[in-house]
């Protein structure tokens, strides 16, 4: 399933190369020739698209490169990430007890430009709200959007569109999206992701409230595609959306949501701010699930390509992509073996999470594995999964199935939590150079605020 993207990536490399040739920014005409600031226009930034791969440390982007390698050529092909790499970012929070960040503190840094404690949703260490880049854009009369594959009131999008002392106050965060007005307008014009259970509640129905205020409410890919309203609420799951390879066609991909958001936001003559999160790279990392992680990397890469394609046409859009932290201590190579094998990961047509759920719901272990996995399980692997299935413990079964893939692929994990390593930064647009070198995650917000002045 990963091979089909090679052709697309090749075309993108050619396009990027021809832009370079036209701009005269480099003597090289190949996107393979290293990092550059491949801006087609050195003018003003009108639109800003920030993409955040939750948990996407460097091992994830490297593994994604291996997954897309064409083994018949000696060089490893560059990915959409590689072609736009500009630097690295430090991520540490300002927390009394922890110096490895959580998603909320990191997102606050990228949204509001400050360091804060783990769990904070755009409030500082005194629990005081701090203005975000999305709010600054709305104050300037720009259109704004939040897109995620988690519930859309999860930590990362929340830090752009809400303020709360705790990321766990999901209902309050959803309320903020509706209640916080800027110049008499709702703060966020396009809201797409999971989370119906937080918007349609016993105490309050935010879906009806948004509809009453003119938002178009969509719940399927088809409705999303047909949307013609500049203000839109799209909720596609009670909490998080299914992972990309588990997703039915009735649920939109991150790329489809990104394109649908851009289409509406771009109608605003004042420009727009959009945040897109590849939310569940992190969730797969927490579960130590390499199959799920690569499923989400591909979904996120396609959304990045969509953003770049728009920016190339538009010429006044700054795209910046990074991660909030790395998750799981994901490593390429394990147990002394100098190999990463993409094959076993490609062999999975569903995530171990999906397979574990079918087994817990009563399907026979062999039937599920044979239906969704194209390699033959060894007796030892099969027995370990059957033993886990007998416990009726979903988490144990999910991790046992994941570990079969991890061992075969040659990848390891060191933790069920986050790690403190620097994260890669990618950019495309008129001001990409401001994100280059070693920056801090707060610099993302600082620079975006500069664009919005």
Q: Which residues here bind Zn ion, judged by CB under 5 A?
A: 54, 103, 282, 324
Least distance to Zn ion from the beta carbon of 204, Å? Answer: 27
**Burial (CB count within 10 angstroms: exposed 0-12, middle 13-18, buried 19+), residue 212:** exposed
Q: Which is nearer to Zn ion, 176 or 324 (CB)?
A: 324
Least distance to Zn ion from the beta carbon of 452, Å? Answer: 24
Task: Give the whole-angstrom CA distance, residue 395 versus residue 143.
Answer: 41
Least distance to Zn ion from the beta carbon of 94, Å? Answer: 17
Cα within 13 Å of Cα(436), Cβ side: 13
Task: Give the whole-angstrom CA distance, residue 55 versus residue 107.
Answer: 12
Q: Which is nearer to Zn ion, 40 or 328 (CB)?
A: 328
Task: Kindly report the length of the chain.
Answer: 453
Rounded to a whole number of angstroms, the CA Rg of the chain reads 21
Least distance to Zn ion from the beta carbon of 243, Å? Answer: 16
Task: Give the whole-angstrom CA distance, residue 444 versus residue 434.
Answer: 9
Helices in 90-213 by DSSP H: which ranges?
A: 103-112, 133-139, 155-161, 170-179, 196-199, 206-212
Q: Which is nearer to Zn ion, 40 or 157 (CB)?
A: 157
Q: Which is nearer to Zn ion, 92 or 103 (CB)?
A: 103
DSSP 291-360: HHHHHHHHHHHHHHHHHHHHHHHHSSEEEEEEES-EETT-EESBTTB----SHHHHTBSS-HHHHHHHHH
Q: How far is CA 218 from CA 147, 233, 267, 272, in A?
A: 13, 6, 19, 21
Q: Which is nearer to Zn ion, 45 or 321 (CB)?
A: 321
In this structure, how many other beta carbons lie within 10 angstroms of the beta carbon of residue 317?
25
Active-site option among 28, 90, 103, 150: 103
Task: Give the whole-angstrom CA distance, residue 306 versus residue 71.
Answer: 26
Q: Nearest-CB residue to Zn ion? A: 103
Least distance to Zn ion from the beta carbon of 55, Å? Answer: 5
- Is residue 253 flagged as an active site residue? no
Least distance to Zn ion from the beta carbon of 314, Å? Answer: 29
Residue matched to tokens 């490399």 = 13
Least distance to Zn ion from the beta carbon of 286, Å? Answer: 9
Q: Which is nearer to Zn ion, 206 or 241 (CB)?
A: 241
Q: Does residue 47 sit in helix, strand or coil?
A: strand
Task: Give the whole-angstrom CA distance, residue 57 versus residue 65.
Answer: 13
Q: Which is nearer to Zn ion, 282 or 305 (CB)?
A: 282
Q: How far is CA 174 from CA 116, 140, 199, 281, in A?
A: 21, 23, 7, 23
Residues involved in catalysis: 103
């Amino acid at each position: 399933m990963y091979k089909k993207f090679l052709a697309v990536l090749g075309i993108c490399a050619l396009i990027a190369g021809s832009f370079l040739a036209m701009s005269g920014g480099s003597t090289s005409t190949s996107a393979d020739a290293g990092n550059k600031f491949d801006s087609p226009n050195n003018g003003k930034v009108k639109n800003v698209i920030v993409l955040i791969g939750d948990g996407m440390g460097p091992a994830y982007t490297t593994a994604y490169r291996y997954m897309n390698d064409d083994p018949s050529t000696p060089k490893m092909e560059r990915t959409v990430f590689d072609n736009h790499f500009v630097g690295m970012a430090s991520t540490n929070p300002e927390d009394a007890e922890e110096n490895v960040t959580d998603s909320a503190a990191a997102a606050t840094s990228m949204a509001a430009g400050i360091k804060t404690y783990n769990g904070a949703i755009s409030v500082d260490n005194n629990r005081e709200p701090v203005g975000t880049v999305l709010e600054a854009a709305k104050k300037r009369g720009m259109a704004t959007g939040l897109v995620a594959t988690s519930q859309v009131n999860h930590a990362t999008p929340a830090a752009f569109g809400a303020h709360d002392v705790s990321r766990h106050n999901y209902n309050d965060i959803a309320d903020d999206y509706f209640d916080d007005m800027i110049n008499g307008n709702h703060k966020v014009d396009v809201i797409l992701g999971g989370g119906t259970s937080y918007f349609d509640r016993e105490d309050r129905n935010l879906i009806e409230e948004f509809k009453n205020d003119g938002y178009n409410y969509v719940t399927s890919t088809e409705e999303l595609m047909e949307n013609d309203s500049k203000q839109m609420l799209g909720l596609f799951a009670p909490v998080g959306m299914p992972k990309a390879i588990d997703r039915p066609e009735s649920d939109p991909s991150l790329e489809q949501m990104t394109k649908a958001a851009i289409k509406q936001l771009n109608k605003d003559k004042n420009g727009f701010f959009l945040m897109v999160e590849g939310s569940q790279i992190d969730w797969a990392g927490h579960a130590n699930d390499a199959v799920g992680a690569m499923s989400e990397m591909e979904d996120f890469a396609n959304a990045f390509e969509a953003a770049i394609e728009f920016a190339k046409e538009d010429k006044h859009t700054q795209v910046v992509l990074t991660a909030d932290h790395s998750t799981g201590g994901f490593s390429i190579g394990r147990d002394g073996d100098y190999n990463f094998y993409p094959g076993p990961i490609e062999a999975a047509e569903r995530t171990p999470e999906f397979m574990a759920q079918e087994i817990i719901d009563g399907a026979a272990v062999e039937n599920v594995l044979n239906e969704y996995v194209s390699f033959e399980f060894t007796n030892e692997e099969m027995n370990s999964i059957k033993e886990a299935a007998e416990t009726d413990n979903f988490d144990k079964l999910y991790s046992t199935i994941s570990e079969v893939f991890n061992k075969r692929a040659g990848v390891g994990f060191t933790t069920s939590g986050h790690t403190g390593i620097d994260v890669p930064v990618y950019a495309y647009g008129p001001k990409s150079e401001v994100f280059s070198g070693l920056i801090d995650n707060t610099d993302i917000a600082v620079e975006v605020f500069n664009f919005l002045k």
